[in-house]
Structure formats: structure tokens, C-alpha cells
Structure 1
Amino acid sequence: MKGEVAIRDLGIGDVDALVDLYQHLNAGDAPPSPEAVLAVFAHPGLRHFGVFDGEALIASCNLAVIPNLTRGGGSYGVIENVVTHADHRGRGHSQTVVRHAIEEAWKVACYKVVLTTGRKDPAVWAFYERCGFDAGDKRAFVIRR
């Protein structure tokens, strides 16, 4: 390990490291435009969290808090883009960042947190269950353009 492992909110100054880390999620993705970066980091209710080993960003996820009119007006959270650098996998960093995002959702009174994954690997599903998610609670449907 290079340095002390810490978790914090990511800001616009972390974009280059985050885009590089996303290559470990979706290799070959085109980088976002500067306009997209500004829009994402200005979006209310959207936060990005990062786990750092010293100065190196090694794991991340984001949390969108969605206002809602059901459940007494309780918001809900959506976690996406969970990724750990390939050189740092198997050490609990993704679990750290996911659990941090869940705790942040509870702090703003979300009544639930949802996470979807495109991975078909049962080990990945088991990982999310260890983080507290219930795969049998809801069914997700996706449509892509």
C-alpha cells in the first residue's frame, strides 16, 4: 500500500482521476466533454465518493438522491458506477465506498437505496448482498437508446 486509505467526496478537480478509474469499469469508454463534466458536478443531489490510497483514487461510486412524492415525500437514493482499480480489488475498497454512499443516503433521510448492475457474475451479486442489498426485493428493467 502506498499511503493511508481515506474516503471523501469527489469534486471537479478529481475528474481526470475518476475518468481514468472508469476505464476499469467500462474499458474503452470515451471521456466526457468538458460541458458534461460541469453539468454532472453542478447537479444537485448527485455526489461522487472516492477511496484513496495516498493520492491515488482506487475506488468510487456515485449516489443520486431523488426527490419523491410517495412514502411521505421521502427521497430515495440510487448508487451507480461502482468501480475499483484492478490492482486494488479484493481488499474491501468497493464495499467501503458503497457502505459510505448508503450512510450518506440515510443522513439525508432517503427511505431506500437502489443499486443496479449489468454484471452477470453471481460473485458480484453476492458482493452487493454483503453490502446489505436484497436482490429479491424489486426487479429492475432497463431500456437503452
Structure 2
Amino acid sequence: MIREAEITDKAQIVELYKMLVPYSKKMNVQEEQIEMIRKDPNNFLLVYDEEGEILGTITLNICLQALHGLRPYGIVENIIVHEKHRNKKIGQKLLQYVEEYCKSIDCHRIMLLSNSKRKKAHQFFEREGYDSSVSKGFKKYL
């Protein structure tokens, strides 16, 4: 089942994030932030829960813009499926859930960035309809 994360999910979310960014020294998952996201109508920390075990997670942020009338857009971040549960369509289900929600609120598009070295993830995103040739992503860490 896909649901919004709760503060009691913190430890399992941290374990998933360690698989996503194993050498990160800046990771700092806080229960207060999980709860703030949960209460925010435009931000979602979603988990794929199978009998109490969190097998995947995805973050969705809904952003307003002026370019396309009243249509917002979605940004997907930090999508990860547990290493032992990959190739079971969990990532696909998470992305489909996000896409259905974005369609329901008339989003113009969904964007995501992926580490340039994660080739298998890129193949997965392309299979799910995301086009890497449309834009080039940039980041500036602060």
C-alpha cells in the first residue's frame, strides 16, 4: 500500500536513503520534518508499505507557476526502492501514484533529477515515460 509517511517510519526511511546516497554526510532525517511535510498540502513524503515494512519511498512537491495559467507542476525527489525488493514494480507503482495525483490536480508536468551515475535508474525512468533529452538539470548546493 502507498501512504503518506509518518514519524514512526523514520528509521526505515533512513535505511532507504542510505541506499540512495550511501556516502552522504549531510543526511539528517528528522521526525519534525516528516510531520511538517505530512501537514503541508503541496508536499508529500510517500512510502510503499508492505505489512509494516517500508520497501520504497518517493517525495512529491507541487509547485505553482505563472507560465501555464493555473496549472502547477510536480517535482519528484528521493525515489528509492529497497535493494532486496527491486524489479517487483514498486518504483513503478510509486511513480504511477504520483502521476495519478498530479493529473487529478491538473499539473502541467512532472520533473525529476537523477544522479548522473545511476544508469539503471535512468533506464527505469525512461521506461516510465520520462524523457532525459528534453532538459538538462543543474544543481547548486548551499
- In the superposition, relative to structure 1, how do residues 100 and 11 fare at CA in structure 2: closer, same or farther (>3 Å)? same
> 52, 63, 67: which one pairs with 1:55?
52
State the Cα distance separating 1:72 from its structure 2 match.
0.9
Residues 5 and 34 of structure 2 are in contact (CA less than 8 Å); yes or no, is this contact kept in structure 1?
no
Match of 2:121 in 1: 124
Quote the Cα distance in structure 1 between the aligned partners of 2:116 and 2:79.
11
TM-score by length of 1: 0.84
State the Cα distance separating 1:41 from its structure 2 match.
3.3
In terms of mean alpha carbon deviation, does 85-94 or 23-32 score higher? 23-32
- Asked if 1:74 is matched to 2:71, the reply is yes
State the Cα distance separating 1:35 from its structure 2 match.
4.1
Quote the Cα distance in structure 2 between the aligned partners of 1:60 and 1:121.
17
Secondary structure of the 2:48 match is strand
In terms of mean alpha carbon deviation, does 32-41 or 43-52 score higher? 32-41
TM-score by length of 2: 0.86
Residues 67 and 76 of structure 1 are in contact (CA less than 8 Å); yes or no, is this contact kept in structure 2?
yes
Identity rate, percent: 21
State the Cα distance separating 1:132 from its structure 2 match.
1.2
- In the superposition, relative to structure 1, how do residues 119 and 53 fare at CA in structure 2: closer, same or farther (>3 Å)? farther
Residues 34 and 45 of structure 2 are in contact (CA less than 8 Å); yes or no, is this contact kept in structure 1?
no
Residues 49 and 101 of structure 1 are in contact (CA less than 8 Å); yes or no, is this contact kept in structure 2?
no
> 12, 15, 26: which one pairs with 2:21?
26
> 6, 10, 17: which one pairs with 1:15?
10
In terms of mean alpha carbon deviation, does 12-21 or 29-38 score higher? 29-38
Query: CA deviation digits over 1:117-142, x for unaligned, max 9?
Result: 01423322111011111111222111
Residues 58 and 77 of structure 2 are in contact (CA less than 8 Å); yes or no, is this contact kept in structure 1?
yes
Match of 1:141 in 2: 138
- In the superposition, relative to structure 1, how do residues 53 and 33 fare at CA in structure 2: closer, same or farther (>3 Å)? closer
Secondary structure of the 1:23 match is helix
Residues 49 and 56 of structure 2 are in contact (CA less than 8 Å); yes or no, is this contact kept in structure 1?
yes
Residues 8 and 50 of structure 1 are in contact (CA less than 8 Å); yes or no, is this contact kept in structure 2?
yes
State the Cα distance separating 1:62 from its structure 2 match.
1.0
Give the partner amino acid of 2:69. G
Give the partner amino acid of 2:61. A
Unaligned runs of 5+ in 2: none
In terms of mean alpha carbon deviation, does 7-16 or 108-117 score higher? 7-16
Quote the Cα distance in structure 2 between the aligned partners of 1:11 and 1:61.
13
Unaligned runs of 5+ in 1: 1-5
Quote the Cα distance in structure 2 between the aligned partners of 1:104 and 1:70.
21
